[in-house]
Amino acid sequence: MVRRLFGPAKREVAVIGQGTWEMESHDRGAVIAALRRGIDLGMTHIDTAEMYGSGIVEKWIGEAITGRREKVFLVSKVLPQNASRKGTVDACEKSLARLKTEYLDCYLLHWPGRHPLKQTIEAFEELQRAGKIRSWGVSNFDVSDLEAAWKIAGAGRLACNQVLYHLKERAIEHAVIPWCERHDVAVVAYSPFGSGHFPELRTQGGRVLQEIADARGATARQVALRFLVHRPSLFAIPKAVNEAHQVENAGAAKVVLTAADLARIDQAFPRGPRRRKLPVL
Ligand code: NAP
């Protein structure tokens, strides 16, 4: 697995990790086995949230990482409605209890909400001082939200921004990624396969991916994932319960794409104009 520095968190993190949204709709044993297999394959960056299955997913992750906690870069998220100063601390403690761990590697605000951001950031700082989180970040933040966070927290505090990014949704390339790169903030691509809308082989884009995959001894999904993380600020967190999918996704880190491959993908999946609002799922 390829690892790289995760913004200012001073940690080397796997470029391909594991998403866990909606895992509660699968069999518990299958989910735990898939997460463990993913860790063994090097996908040690595990993304979750208090929202996922209303805490069920965090509990299952707690079981999956028992005995392997030190290998994992564990990320969870507080819901915006809980993100007051006290609410954030309480939510984190509940997540830690469900995850059966003493600390999170990174704790995120799931999306901007009604509580003043200053309160949430103060809670994150308090949690970090107490050793309950090792870093903190945000999710679904556009440039104006990022600027606001930066103004409150100062340099070197914000570890990451987790945002929607896949081949058919490249809007963050206009301003969000450049802002994060200028400020040394990691960018985590969520729904990297379009959450069930991966380009099909019968489409022109799907054929381009397959041709590149054939030339590189890879699969179309591996080529797509590799494209998404080709910039050094980027990480991706595909969700997979199926074991063959886990193996395929982990293998993406090894795929080597040439400048010509990147240019072909860029052309086949144009990033389109800058949006007025940050796309979210
Ligand atoms: P995704 O990762 O784009 O796609 C997941 C789907 O793709 C699942 O149906 C999975 O099937 C399938 N899949 C995975 N690998 C595959 C492969 N190699 N071949 C064929 N199918 C494959 O969707 P996502 O769950 O929306 O996004 C990933 C993660 O991002 C989430 O789980 C969550 O952790 C995070 N996320 C964050 C936010 C946010 O607001 N911060 C929003 C959405 C998502 P199987 O499960 O059957 O293997």
Region 83-102 average pLDDT: 98
3-state secondary structure of 263: helix
Mean pLDDT over the full length of the chain: 97
Contact 245, 33 (CB under 8 A): no
CA-wise closest residue to 51 among 98, 18, 89, 85: 98
Measured from the CA of 48, which atom of ligand 1 is nearest? 34
For 264-278, write each residue's pLDDT tens digit. Answer: 999 999 998 888 889
Q: Which residues are CB-neighbours of 265 under 8 A, at least 6 positions away?
A: 167, 208, 209, 212, 223, 224, 227, 257
3-state secondary structure of 43: coil
CB atoms within 10 A of CB 140: 21
Spell out the alpha helix ranges (H) of the chain: 28-40, 56-64, 85-99, 117-129, 143-153, 176-182, 204-216, 220-228, 243-251, 259-268
161: DSSP letter: E
Integer Cα distance of 63 and 171 in angstroms: 37
Region 194-221 average pLDDT: 96
> What is the Å distance from ligand 1's center to 190 Cα?
8
For 242-260, write each residue's pLDDT tens digit. Answer: 999 999 999 999 999 999 9
Reported pTM? 0.97
Percent of the chain whose pLDDT exceeds 70: 100
Contact 117, 84 (CB under 8 A): no
- 135 pLDDT higher than 90: yes
Write the single-letter amino acid at 125: E
Write the single-letter amino acid at 158: L
3-state secondary structure of 254: helix
281 lines ligand 1 (CB under 6 A): yes
Integer Cα distance of 147 and 179 in angstroms: 9
Integer Cα distance of 192 and 224 in angstroms: 8
3-state secondary structure of 228: helix
> What is the Å distance from ligand 1's center to 154 Cα?
33
Percent of the chain whose pLDDT exceeds 90: 97
> What is the Å distance from ligand 1's center to 228 Cα?
14
Residue 33: pLDDT band with limits 50, 70, 90: very high
